A and B are shown apart, each in its own frame.
Chain A
């Protein structure tokens, strides 16, 4: 019996070894990074669209209805959450792996370095493409804070309960958490959103190159769309701590 189980797993290993091998090379790993990154971008669009309901001037009615409708799909939500968590973990694990290997590829550094791409970036030294790990880690901190705030409700009873002990509406919850007196959230969300902007400013178009898509007709367009997307997402999310919070 035991022998049989061992045989089974050995069999499985050879069935997919070619894929695992391919995905563990430097090129294969970047492909996974790009695909997970782009799928996470898709999630960001849906998430921002939902949040924009906060701006409907109906005292939170649309937003509450949206939140309730979402939470009624318990099974779907569970699958989506596990899927997103998986994407994020895969993205982070590979990002850390790739970054540490890239560092090891130059153990002794230069005394002087100077880009030959002068003029391509407005601020040399603050190019988003050389700050991907840093902006990624800031985004991760933002995501953890955000889940603490909204999903795990770990910021203290006062944010989530009415005086009579009943749960507040989703709209009230957002209002409580994003109040100007809750500086950690306001500053954290603003910084996190702009870090996300920087991450996507390079990441979006970079993912296409990684997937082998570089074409004189489409690449300039992809770069433009990437920049517009990064600004729309980054500024879009930043408006909640910086603008929406002030008016509520």
Chain B
């Protein structure tokens, strides 16, 4: 690619050597960045430079780099996963930025997601919420012929749309209350909509909500910043379903006596 198309950028990156260390923003000048690079590749280039100048490379989470694993994160100029909708940071391209831009990069900020180092946060709170109830205990055996399963197409679609959640935590990061309601509602909904999830429906929602509260996430004020930030486009109608499931569990079931 021709160097004339390269971007010159100023990065302001949160640097924090450890969980309890004091952090600060540090500024890095990037020269001649290809617009065809992904955002994470751009950070790779930065880290190559830092290694050469004997500075600690920037820690950031990533794995699949194709939008399916939910490992990448980053608050980019105040937006979770950057400016695009339905896009993870690993799918974000540098062509979205202009020559001369300053880009502020921060970790997810939530009391329940403590910073491990620089831009990497500990999102194990999500795993503990799943452990509390986001599963089915029955042995479902081998996959049956799809046509044998008595699940209507619209239910399948809704369950599938909720199951698209990759557990990245952007919903928490974008929410003014650092609420995990979109994530939890996706995990509750994907099972509540299917017959396999039915037997543990009440227990699942009460335990997952209890764990969510215990982890120190905030509550939902129906501001819907989560939905706008979600790379999997999980809908806030799932949050209404979570509320419904919860009310049903409290009022109708014998769970929680």
Q: Which residues of A contact B (CB under 8 A)?
A: 18-19, 21-22, 25-31, 98, 101-117, 127, 129-130, 132, 202, 206, 209-214
Contact = CB atoms under 8 A, between A and B. Distances in A.
Contacts of B179: 26, 102, 105
Nearest to A114: B78
B110 A106 contact: yes
A26 B174 contact: no
A31 B247 contact: yes
Given A102-B179, A110-B109, A117 B222 contact: no
Contacts of B12: 111
Contacts, number: 133
Contact of B176 (A29, A111, A130, A213): A130
Nearest to B79: A114
B225 A209 contact: no
B238 to A, nearest CB: 9
B47 interface: no
Nearest to B115: A108
Given A26-B212, A104-B216, 5 more contacts: A102-B218, A105-B218, A132-B221, A209-B239, A209-B243
Nearest to A117: B228
B111 A105 contact: yes
Nearest to B210: A25
Contact of B209 (A26, A108, A212): A26
B218 A106 contact: yes
A117 B178 CA distance: 17
Contacts of A22: 206, 246, 250, 256
Contacts of B111: 104-107
A98 B240 contact: no
A108 B109 contact: yes
A115 B217 CA distance: 20
Nearest to A207: B222
A141 B78 CA distance: 34
B75 A212 contact: no
Interface residues of B, number: 51
B25 A111 contact: yes
Contacts of A105: 110-112, 177-179, 216-218
Given A19-B250, A106-B109, A111-B104, A117 B244 contact: no
A183 to B, nearest CB: 35
Contacts of A212: 240-241, 243-247
Contacts of A211: 243, 247
B213 interface: yes
B222 A102 contact: no
Given A21-B256, A106-B178, A110-B78, A129 B222 contact: yes
Contacts of A202: 222
B28 to A, nearest CB: 16
B219 A28 contact: no
Nearest to A118: B228
Contact of B223 (A26, A27, A31, A129): A129
B54 to A, nearest CB: 27
Given A115-B228, A129-B221, A27 B243 contact: yes
Nearest to B217: A105
A216 B109 CA distance: 33
20 contacts: A19-B250, A25-B246, A26-B209, A26-B219, A30-B243, A31-B243, A102-B218, A105-B112, A106-B178, A111-B25, A111-B104, A112-B104, A115-B225, A116-B174, A202-B222, A209-B239, A209-B243, A210-B243, A212-B247, A214-B237
